[in-house]
């Protein structure tokens, strides 16, 4: 049961190991675009962040291929995950008037052309990483399902918003037989791929690699596999529904690299706000909110990011309470728009939204990748993944669930939503809980408060 405090007990839901069917109020009606009301003040602020974040995404693109770079460092490398997120952002930017439709379509078509030339594995799957300038392979072994999930979701967003591209997109999606990634003995997708050996990387030293985390990017891959009929519905039940409890809040254990982004990534593309998965995501965000209050942090939101000093990528056990990631607030905005806007304002006051110096020209590119609130150090870098997730999540908040609706138009997704119990049963009373939390006040620590050393919380 993912219910916790006494005041929330009446809204608690019970779950089965398979399906986590919600008991109580259930409805088949349309899902809301945002859990709590968005004030005009917050709408103006988030709209400005939305605009600047798109400016960053639009700028950090290879002129040779139209592909997004990993980051503002413009190192010649990118991934299928980056590409899917950027594609979705292009379609949304065109639809919401940030760029003229012809420019949006030109950007999309440039990426589709590069995807058509992209090196493949297992027949129709694009390799995870390539050189953004030359489209040549950059890795001989790589993770697959997590990146392919974001690529597929991004293609569906484009297909839903720019139907003129549907034929080209179907020609990219159809050869990807997700059943080829599936292990029927385990009921899960197999881990990784080795180009040299032409085999999966399931067997690791002391463990076997399968994509078996519910609260991760790979969740969308299971949705898509079930919806297309490539994998059986039972695969969803095979996903471990492991939970953890912090600050009196229970939620599904975050998978992937850890933190907010993996846990909330699928929620960018599929509206989960009234489902058990949304309950879990909202609890996870709120646990971070409460943790920030407990340790005296001026902001909340830990998630994978480049370290503020630029020396490493913080993920897989390296995430600490000291480093706050603005993209986490963007992802959380569908549950707590006021809290997210206020959190971003606090970060902006600390220089996290400072203009970027681009060869002597100051550009408003939104928020940097991360901020160490203990030392005050702000990252010099913007990453494609975090900027795109921020942008797309805010599109749902500001533009009536635009990303959700574009993906929901696909018949395969419709089938998956119908068949997977997690999505078929919803609890509208959750919106009350999210709104009550959103109205609470975040207590900022005294400016001269002595801070303790680094802590590992999420």
CA gap 215, 390 in Å, rounded? 18
> Which residues lie closer than 8 Å to 88 by C-beta, 6 or more apart?
153, 154, 157, 158, 269, 388, 392, 403
Instruction: pLDDT band for 22, please (50, 70, 90 cuts).
Output: very low
CATH classification of 6-438 is 3.90.25.10, yes or no?
no
Please report, for the chain, the start and end positions of each structural domain, with discontinuous segments joined by +: 6-438
Render pLDDT for 300-355 as a digit per residue (tens, 0 to 9): 999 999 999 999 999 999 999 999 999 999 999 999 999 999 999 999 999 999 99
Nearest CA to 275 out of 248, 236, 230 is that of 236
Give the tokens for residue 154.
């991004």
Please give the DSSP secondary-structure letter assigned to residue 252: E
Q: Which of 38-52, 71-85, 419-433 is least confident?
A: 419-433
Q: Positive or negative, the Cα torsion across 261, 265, 271, 273?
A: negative
Rounded Cα distance, 293 and 195, in Å: 47
Which positions ≥6 away from 446 have C-beta within 8 Å?
A: none
For residue range 174-183, list pLDDT tens digits in order.
999 999 999 9
Supply the mean pLDDT for the chain. 91
Helical H segments across 312-424, by residue range: 326-332, 337-349, 384-398, 402-408, 411-419, 421-424
């Amino acid at each position: 049961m993912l219910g916790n405090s006494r005041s929330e007990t009446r809204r608690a839901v019970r779950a089965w190991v398979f399906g986590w069917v919600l008991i109580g109020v259930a409805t088949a009606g349309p899902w809301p675009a945002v859990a709590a009301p968005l004030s005009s003040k917050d709408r103006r602020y988030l709209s400005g962040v939305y605009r600047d974040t798109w400016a960053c995404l639009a700028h950090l693109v290879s002129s040779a291929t139209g592909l997004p770079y990993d980051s503002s460092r413009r190192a010649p490398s990118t991934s299928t995950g980056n590409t899917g997120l950027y594609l979705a952002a292009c379609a949304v930017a065109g639809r919401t008037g940030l760029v003229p439709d012809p420019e949006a379509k030109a950007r999309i078509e440039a990426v589709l052309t590069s995807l058509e030339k992209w090196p493949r594995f297992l027949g129709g799957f694009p390799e995870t990483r390539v050189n953004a300038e030359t489209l040549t392979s950059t890795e001989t072994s790589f993770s697959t399902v997590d990146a392919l999930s974001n690529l597929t979701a991004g293609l569906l967003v484009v297909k839903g918003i720019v139907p003129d591209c549907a034929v080209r997109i179907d020609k990219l999606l159809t050869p990807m037989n997700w059943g080829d990634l599936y292990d029927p003995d385990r009921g899960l997708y197999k881990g990784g791929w080795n180009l040299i050996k032409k085999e999966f990387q399931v067997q690791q030293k002391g463990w076997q690699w399968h994509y078996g985390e519910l609260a991760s990017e790979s969740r969308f891959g299971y949705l898509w596999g079930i919806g297309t009929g490539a994998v059986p519905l039972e695969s969803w039940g095979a996903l471990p529904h492991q939970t953890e409890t912090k600050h009196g809040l229970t939620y599904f254990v975050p998978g992937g690299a850890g933190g907010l982004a993996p846990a909330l990534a699928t929620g960018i593309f599929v509206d989960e706000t009234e489902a058990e998965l949304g309950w879990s995501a909202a609890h996870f965000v709120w646990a971070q909110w409460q943790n920030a209050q407990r340790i005296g942090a001026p902001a909340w939101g830990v998630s994978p990011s480049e370290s503020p000093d630029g020396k490493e990528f913080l993920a897989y056990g390296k995430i600490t309470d000291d480093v706050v990631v603005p993209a986490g607030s963007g992802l959380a905005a569908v549950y707590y728009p006021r809290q997210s806007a206020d959190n971003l304002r606090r970060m902006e006051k600390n220089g996290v939204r400072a203009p970027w110096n681009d060869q002597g020209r100051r550009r408003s590119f939104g928020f940097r990748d991360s901020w160490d609130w203990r030392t005050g150090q702000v990252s010099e870098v913007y990453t494609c993944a975090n900027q795109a997730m921020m942008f797309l999540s805010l599109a749902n908040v500001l533009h009536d669930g635009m990303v959700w609706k574009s993906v929901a138009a696909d018949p395969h997704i419709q089938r998956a939503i119908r068949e997977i119990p997690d999505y078929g049963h919803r609890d509208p009373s959750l919106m009350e809980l999210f709104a009550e939390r959103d109205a609470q006040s975040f207590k900022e620590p005294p400016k001269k408060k002595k801070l303790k050393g680094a802590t590992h919380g999420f």
